[in-house]
Amino acid sequence: MHISYAQAYDCASAIFWSVTAADERPDLAAMLYPLVRTLIAEEMPVLAEHDVSMWGYSVLVALDETPVRTQSALAEAIGADKSRIIGTLDELQDAGLIERTPDPDDRRVRLLSITAKGRRVRRAVRKGIRVREERLLAKLPAADRQGFLRALRALHRDK
């Protein structure tokens, strides 16, 4: 009897998997990375629908929580480089979603704040994102879901 390499490999696959799957868990990053990818892919259509980029949205989120005095500070707050958010700020300003006014006390700095329109867009986008997040979280048992969210918030806070 002759079995091809193809069959042998398929067979080995099944055996190896059944042995290792039960006791061990994948690395955290190996689980989290694809999850983030999926989430971002889900968010894209929502963002496109409201004509904001991902960086644009995170700027709106940051400014909705609090106005910021300098662009550098804003960049650092959202984990970006100061040179990287300039295009984003231009777009947001042109769309009337943020205000960027020179500080009379120090004409080098730009005072940044969200507009009423920007706030509306931010809320609408978040609503769309929440709907899609729900579809994902619905896969979890209620108990784990709570632990998952609490853990995530904890890790997010003191990072």
20 is an interface residue for a copy of itself by CB under 8 A: yes
Interface characters, 95-134, with a copy of itself (x: CB under 8 A): --------xxxx----x--------------x--xx--x-
Quick one: 17 or 90, whose CB is closer to a copy of itself? Answer: 17
Name which of a copy of itself, DNA, none residue 16 binds, using a CB cut-off of 5 to 8 Å depending on partner kind.
Answer: a copy of itself
Quick one: 10 or 106, whose CB is closer to DNA? Answer: 106
Question: DSSP secondary structure string, the chain?
Answer: ----HHHHHHHHHHHHHHHHHTT----HHHHHHHHHHHHHHHHHHHHHHTT--HHHHHHHHHHHH--BS-HHHHHHHTT--TTTSHHHHHHHHHTTSEEEEEETTEEEEEEEEE-HHHHHHHHHHHHHHHHHHHHHHTTS-HHHHHHHHHHHHHHHHT-
Quick one: 107 or 159, whose CB is closer to DNA? Answer: 107
The residue type at 155:
L
51 is an interface residue for DNA by CB under 7 A: no
In angstroms, rounded to a whole number, what is the distance separating the alpha carbons of residues 114 and 97?
6
Quick one: 87 or 148, whose CB is closer to a copy of itself? Answer: 148
- Minimum Å gap between C-beta 141 and DNA is 32
Quick one: 94 or 135, whose CB is closer to a copy of itself? Answer: 135
Question: Is residue 109 a contact partner of residue 103, using CB atoms and an 8 Å limit?
Answer: yes
Phi, psi of 52 (to 5 degrees): -125, 145
47 is an interface residue for a copy of itself by CB under 8 A: no
Q: Binding a copy of itself by CB under 8 A: which of 58, 75, 85, 98?
A: 58
66 is an interface residue for DNA by CB under 7 A: no
Give contact residues for DNA (rule: CB under 7 A).
70-73, 80-84, 86, 89, 106-110
